[in-house]
Chains A and B, each alone.
Chain A
Amino acid sequence: MSATAVEAGGGAGLRRFLVRHVLMSEYLVLYLSVLYFLAIWPFVPEMATASTAGNILSAMLPLLVVAIGQTIVLIIAGIDLSVTAVIAMASVVGASIMTGDGGYLAGSPFAVPGGIVAFLVIGGAVGLFNGVCSTKLRMPSFIVTLTMMMFLSGAALWYTTAHTETSSIAALPSAFVAIGGGDVAGIPNALWVALAVAVAMHLLLSRTLFGQWLYAIGRNREAARISGVPVDKVIIWAFVISGLLAALASILYTGRLETGTPVLGRRFLLDIIGAAVIGGTSLFGGHGKVVWTVFGVLFLAMINASLDLIGLGHDFAVGVKGAVILLAAVLDAARRRVLARQ
């Protein structure tokens, strides 16, 4: 390597700088986001307005909350395909409790707390089930969460028809809607929630023994078990966290839409996993950070927003998103090759 660097002369210095500080940097996706913004700005000046920034933010916050949960499951070399179905199921069950239109706790002062508890109980219970199946019963998490997704999306539709003639459950209490749509000190509540989740999960991963255990399990499950990590318990908790965060995202989505909807989040499943992976989290476990996922979600949200502004709409965005995922993956492959050579 040094021989070729000497031969290439001056150009090599720049190349080495680029490789070390851009390609190898963990902020690569952030740089790409900035680059994309600068590239698209001359053509779409609206990108730089406050309202666009607000749109990007409000689109990315609930996605970010779920994607962080997904990151934790990916770190232990699992995958959670059930998150969007959890979002849908929690949305309709929570709404059925709170709705002024014949809800179980309609009119009671416990309506909103009861509804929120229902969201979280569903998320936690599904996470627990996924975790127990992938550890005690030795089932691959891909299949456990896949069947869970099929089951819950069907159940959410069924549950809705049992409660309303229409396709969604409306008339949610204003106190609940304010959670997704209101603000404190001029900052939207959703942003507070997402920030709190991101900071808490970042600290969990980087500063606690539990975080160390997650990475250890992802790198080598057997080695972790032999060195005394309570592997099964940690994996179950990872799935519970993912389920709870999906439920939290469901609260934000449901509050923003002001209705409980059984098809909520259906389109986002691969976006969620895509965002984590674009950020640099590995599907094979052991690698992943909350900030990476933040960048991944930001990148996807910005692309969606810019394509909306250009007027190409959702359908075209789907294709561009694919190209971007591929580009990020190719860069990542190049990065790993450089790492392997060193």
Chain B
Amino acid sequence: MTRSTLHPAGARARKAGADGVRAQLLLLELSPLILFAIVVVLFGLAADRFLTLATLNNVVIQAAHIAIIAIGMTFVLLTAGIDLSVGAIMYVVVAIVTLYLGDLPLAVSFPIGLLVGLLIGCINGFFIVVVRVAPFITTLATLFIGRGVALFMTDTAMVFANDDVLTLGQTDWLGLRSSIWVFGVVFVVAFVVLRSTPFGRQVYAVGQDPAAAAKAGLKVPLILFGVYAISGVCAALGGLVSLTQVAAASSTFGFQKEFPVIAAAVLGGTSLFGGRGTVVGTAFGALLIQTVETGLVMSNTDPYAYPLVIAGIIFLAVLVDAQRTRIAARLNRRKIRIDDPQDRG
């Protein structure tokens, strides 16, 4: 016999309280969408051309490279890791593809670029899994090494893409730009892998509790190695997509790109402590950041205000998310108190 049946009135009050909290929780859960809606409406009022399909098209094209890298980062963040080397990987890959592989057809040079990204990702994975260096330090080191190597190759000078790359960047298929297609493919593949494959479920399991995952027989080292390899490939792909759009890379190409990438993932609800996050959320985060940037441009806002507004929005989203987590924790605590005796009996 549990306490709730002994005191029906108290139980009802508690239930009403819990419903109130649940409603709050739902509201907080939807808050990123509400935030997005507010942003869109505000910019729609500020600039007439904002609410058009052309704008949407532009936003997706410009967000593509960040979104692709952030999807790779999501795998890493889900395991409670971090990959600071993504910006450096972008630069190394672009430097190699433009400097040494410029004469090869893109069907050869781009896959080689992706292999370079995979290789750096595997180096990260090796040090994190085999040598057991913390992800933050490993990828901080590969960030420095990668940038150093790339600067050495380019001699800090601007590197230029060939005409094929430029053409690719301007090509439309079925009315959609090449970068949107790449983004779409990465999105779908990552979505399916995380949602419906054993590997995807194992990534979540490792992030929620690595010790429990190991006890349950998961090959934790292999999974960790895998997520850094994925992040490396995605960073390389993001760098190449960016190259097709800007055609040239200066010595600051990809510099500190790790920060907007992580911000996009976090904005989409991915936790830095592992176990929580989705590909949909991350893509949404990247698109939200780009929507704000595009909106600021179209409403003729002072360019110096861009980083302030974007930082403010990311801050707001994380603030709301933190409150959501707190309320969810409180809700769980109550459940344990009321239901636990019954469950055990």
A273 to B136, CA, bound (A): 10
Q: Are B133 and A326 in contact (CB under 8 A)?
A: yes
Residue picked from A140, A158, A315, A317, most chain B C-beta under 10 Å: A315
Nearest-CB distance from B259 to chain A (Å)? Answer: 6
Residues of A within 8 A of B132 (CB): 333, 336-337
A320 to B322, CA, bound (A): 39
B319 at the interface (CB under 8 A from A): yes
Residues of A within 8 A of B151 (CB): 315-316, 318-319
A41 to B53, CA, bound (A): 64
B127 at the interface (CB under 8 A from A): yes
A50 at the interface (CB under 8 A from B): no
Q: Are A329 and B141 in contact (CB under 8 A)?
A: yes
Residues of B within 8 A of A53 (CB): none
A140 to B278, CA, bound (A): 19
Nearest-CB distance from A125 to chain B (Å)? Answer: 16
B231 at the interface (CB under 8 A from A): no
B305 at the interface (CB under 8 A from A): yes
Residue picked from A161, A273, A319, most chain B C-beta under 10 Å: A319
A154 with B140, Cβ < 8 A, contacts A138-B326, A143-B266, A329-B134 known:
no
A336 to B325, CA, bound (A): 34
Chain A contact residue count (CB 8 A cutoff): 43
Residues of A within 8 A of B134 (CB): 283-284, 329
A317 with B148, Cβ < 8 A, contacts A326-B127, A326-B133, A333-B132 known:
yes
A323 with B145, Cβ < 8 A, contacts A142-B272, A150-B311 known:
yes
Q: Which of B145, B259, B304, B323 contacts A157 (CB 8 A)?
A: B304
Nearest-CB distance from A138 to chain B (Å)? Answer: 5
A339 to B315, CA, bound (A): 40
Nearest-CB distance from A333 to chain B (Å)? Answer: 5
Residues of A within 8 A of B156 (CB): 315
Q: Are B308 and A155 in contact (CB under 8 A)?
A: yes
A323 with B141, Cβ < 8 A, contacts A146-B263, A150-B259 known:
yes
A30 to B144, CA, bound (A): 22
B318 at the interface (CB under 8 A from A): yes
Q: Which of A138, A147, A161, A329 contacts B311 (CB 8 A)?
A: A147
A284 to B132, CA, bound (A): 14
A330 at the interface (CB under 8 A from B): yes
Query: Which secondary structure dominates chain A's binding surface?
Result: helix
Q: Are B143 and A277 in contact (CB under 8 A)?
A: no
Q: Are B315 and A270 in contact (CB under 8 A)?
A: no
A270 with B143, Cβ < 8 A, contacts A158-B304, A315-B151, A326-B133 known:
yes
A316 to B156, CA, bound (A): 10
Q: Which of A149, A153, A320, A325 contacts B137 (CB 8 A)?
A: A325
Q: Are A322 and B143 in contact (CB under 8 A)?
A: yes
A336 to B137, CA, bound (A): 15
A319 with B137, Cβ < 8 A, contacts A143-B318, A270-B143, A325-B144 known:
no
B343 at the interface (CB under 8 A from A): no
Q: Are A333 and B266 in contact (CB under 8 A)?
A: no
Q: Which of B259, B263, B305, B318 contacts A154 (CB 8 A)?
A: B305
Residues of A within 8 A of B310 (CB): 150
Q: Are B145 and A322 in contact (CB under 8 A)?
A: yes
Contact flags A306-324 to B (C-beta < 8 A → 1, else 0): 0000000001111111110
B292 at the interface (CB under 8 A from A): no
Q: Are A322 and B319 in contact (CB under 8 A)?
A: no
The closest CB in chain A to the CB of B267 belongs to A143
Contact flags A132-154 to B (C-beta < 8 A → 1, else 0): 01000111101110111111011
A150 to B259, CA, bound (A): 9
Other CB < 8 Å A-B pairs besides A154-B306, A326-B138, 12 of them? A140-B318, A142-B272, A143-B272, A143-B314, A149-B259, A154-B308, A316-B152, A318-B151, A322-B143, A329-B127, A330-B127, A330-B131
13 A-B residue pairs with CB within 8 Å: A140-B318, A143-B263, A143-B315, A147-B263, A148-B311, A161-B304, A315-B251, A319-B151, A319-B152, A322-B147, A326-B127, A326-B133, A330-B127
State the A residues within 8 Å of B (CB). 133, 137-140, 142-144, 146-151, 153-155, 157-158, 161, 270, 273-274, 277, 283-284, 315-323, 325-326, 329-330, 332-333, 336-337
